[in-house]
Structure 1
Amino acid sequence: MPNFKVFINGLLILPLAGCLDMSKEQFFSSTTLNEKSKEVEYQDIHQLNLAISDLVKDVDETGFSPKLKSQFTLHNLNGGAWPQAWVAFNISVFLRDKELARISKANVMQDHSLMVSFEQHLPKFGISQDELSIRVTPVAWMPTFPLHILPVSNSSESVQTPTVKAAKNKVSALP
């Protein structure tokens, strides 16, 4: 019996010993490591290159405090294999060179573009649209895939169900 336990333990450990033989280069072959900083370097397909187009900045001074109402379209200039992606980004609003606000947003980019709108209170009245600038910094993104659910087809085959005969308390099923 003691030999049997040693034999079983040996059989369990032997497959794990094969994993220890794997070199570091094979393990990290799917990513690139920077030799100096020892950090993972991402390929171009992993990066977002966002550009702003159709920017509208409207300063609303009708209420008790002025408000910037803005909308724009973000485009991913890298394109890539994923036309849809969940994107998280920061919007920074600047008055000349001073940052007024940083707004975090996330949404789904369709066909490498995303329509964004936001409102931000301004510190004082009399600020013109030309004094304000907007910068967008991507934080993270993840490709998304549309879920296609196919309708369930109705089967034309008839399903036979068991029947119960009342005579003499016997149960039988159809063949």
Structure 2
Amino acid sequence: MNPIRYAVCALALGCLAPAWAINKCTDANGKVSFQDALCAGEGEKIEVRPSTRGATPVPPATAPVAEGAFGPTWQRKNYLQTQGIPQARTAIERNQRDCTAQPNTAATAGPLRRGNLPSGNQFVQEGAEKTADDKAACEARTESLREQLRALEREFADL
């Protein structure tokens, strides 16, 4: 048998032991003692059984610990005020600046400028579609950043 089986068997036998016998012995002088062996003189056998109840429950905490002057709430509020909200506003401004700075690819296409191409040309149509897609992506990104800013401002107001 391997060591794991020995451990499991020992654990099972230890749990199945129904009771232990303890002998209460009294000597000639009237002194009482407890022992595993049988008493030489007067004595009685006491059956001891393990408790079937669980462990003693831990009492609940009396009161929650008060947060100190520089506790987690203060730290979060300070972060939002000094870094979180200002950085969110800066991100919105940077995104808007980047969106307005994007060049119109259809107007500056090198030697193939808009004025050199006939109307209805595939190149001009693709450029207009790309510009519209870029503008929609910029607006979606700006709205996402604004929603993040609103969430940070709500959290700051709740603190």
Q: TM-score range by the shorter chain?
A: under 0.3
Name the one with the larger strand percent: 1
**How high is the TM-score relative to the length of structure 2?**
0.26
Give the TM-score normalised by structure 1: 0.24
Structure having the higher Rg: 2
